[in-house]
Structure 1
Amino acid sequence: MARKSHRRRKLKLPRVIWIFLLLFIAAIGVVGGQILSQRAQIADEARAQSEATAKQEAFISRLAPYAQELQQVYGVLPSITLAQAILESDWGTSTLAANYHNLFGIKGTDPATSRIMTTKEYQNDQWVTVHARFRVYASDQESMKDHALLLVNGTDWNANQYAAVLAAKDYVTAAKALQTAGYATDPDYPSKLIALIQQWHLAQYDGN
């Protein structure tokens, strides 16, 4: 008597199910790749931000001691000096600061010690691009000293132009006094300085 075969029959899935499974697996691979790419991008952004913060902290640490020295001689609050240097020079990266050590956007008149640069000023309730002559310095410290002397000596037309800035006992009053004295045309200049001082705790460098 012939034996009956007990071999299991292979399970055959419909073609459409196989296609669905292959598409599903491919989709998982794509999503997984996107997740890995996003994680790598986030990591790169975090690394870049960390490096930028380190450079900003180094910028402050480099200028702070001399800003404190200038306070002892001229009475300018270091927090104001540092905040203006940060804002005016974009952390020392502007062309004016990087090439000519002008950290404060101080203008000049002598062609031998100044350069014509493009800048933006707030005029008639709008920002306009203008060409102006700015002073050239040999070092950042030279620029910082000239900034202090500007506040102490004022301008050619008003020797007491920045007297209220020097008389201020806190950075908020000093920042507002700079605006009133016409140091910058930006109507938000005081609030920008105050925000920088608070964000980076620059008041810690001010003497009592």
Structure 2
Amino acid sequence: MTPVDFINALSAPARELASTTRIPASFTVAQAALESGWAKSQLATQYFNLFGVKADASWTGPTVMLPTTEYVGGKPTTVTAAWRVYSSWLASLQDRASFLQKNPRYSAAFSCQSGDAFACAVAAAGYATDPNYAAKITSIINTHNLSALDS
């Protein structure tokens, strides 16, 4: 799947989700692209997990154990983690939106109108361990003109 195909596949559902969740569609598509490697990751292709959402104690659905890189003290470290398994990409989109909405630490992000501002807010709230997470999402938004999805 090319980046254009990926964007085309997720644009409509991301825009629809944005209308009910206030999560900018540009952020949703860019984050999915980053987390899934444009739908090339094992999580995306085999388990429909576009966002690299881990299975925490609240998750009652199926899981899979896979290695991942976490940044501990600024240094990359390989760890094994439990990941959520979904029945479809749409289920992944919906669950990730619900996860962000229900977690109070991300509440400040919902005052953001743009995808890049939303990315900065969720990163500042501790969404990812990568110190360049927001910059990577912003780069994808800008490179692929994803801000157009937010109008």
TM-score bracket for this pair, using the shorter chain length: over 0.9
2:47 aligned with 1:100, yes or no?
A: yes
> Residue 99 of structure 2 aligns with which residue?
150
2:122 maps to which of 173, 178, 198: 178
The aligned amino acid for 2:86 is: Y
Query: AA paired with 2:85?
Result: V
Matching of residue 202 in structure 1 with residue 146 in structure 2: yes
2:14 to 67, 71, 76: 67
Q: 2 CA distance for matches of 1:138 and 1:201?
A: 29
Give yes or no for contact 2:61–2:84 (8 Å, CA) kept in 1.
Answer: no
CA contact (8 A) 1:116 1:133 kept: yes
1:165 is aligned to 2:109: yes
- The 3-state SS of whatever aligns with 1:161 is helix
Show CA shifts across 1:129-184 (max 9, x none): 00000000000010001111111111xxxxx1111111111223211111111110
- With normalisation by structure 2, the TM-score equals 0.94
Does the CA contact (< 8 Å) of 2:55 and 2:63 recur in 1? Answer: yes
> Does the CA-based 8 Å contact 1:151-1:166 persist in structure 2?
no
| Offset of residue 76 of structure 1 | 0.5
Q: Return the letter of the residue paired with 2:66.
A: M
Conservation of the 8 A alpha-carbon contact between 1:71 and 1:78: yes
Q: Secondary structure at the match of 2:68?
A: strand
Give unmatched runs, 5+ long, in structure 2. Answer: none
Q: Which amino acid aligns with 2:46?
A: N
**AA at the equivalent of 2:31:** Q
> How far does residue 56 in structure 1 lie from its aligned partner after superposition?
1.2
> Per chain length, whose mean CA-contact separation is higher, i.e. which structure has more relative contact order (CA < 8 Å, sep 6+)?
2
1:133 aligns with 82
Distance across 2 between alignment mates of 1:129 and 1:116: 13
| Superposition deviation, residue 65 in structure 1 | 0.1
Q: 1:178 aligns to what SS in structure 2?
A: helix
Structure holding more helix per residue = 1
In the alignment, the residues of structure 2 paired with residue 204 and residue 172 of structure 1 have an alpha-carbon distance, to the nearest angstrom, of 12
Q: Number of aligned pairs?
A: 149
- Residue in 1 that maps onto 2:5: 58
CA distance in 2, matches of 1:172, 1:93: 23
Measured in 1, the distance between the counterparts of 2:147 and 2:86 equals 27
Max radius of gyration: which structure?
1
Kept in 1: contact 2:3–2:38 (CA 8 A): yes
Q: Which amino acid aligns with 1:104?
A: F
* Two-structure CA RMSD over aligned residues (Å): 1.3
- Unaligned runs of 5+ residues in structure 1 are 1-51, 155-159
Letter in 2 for 1:178: V
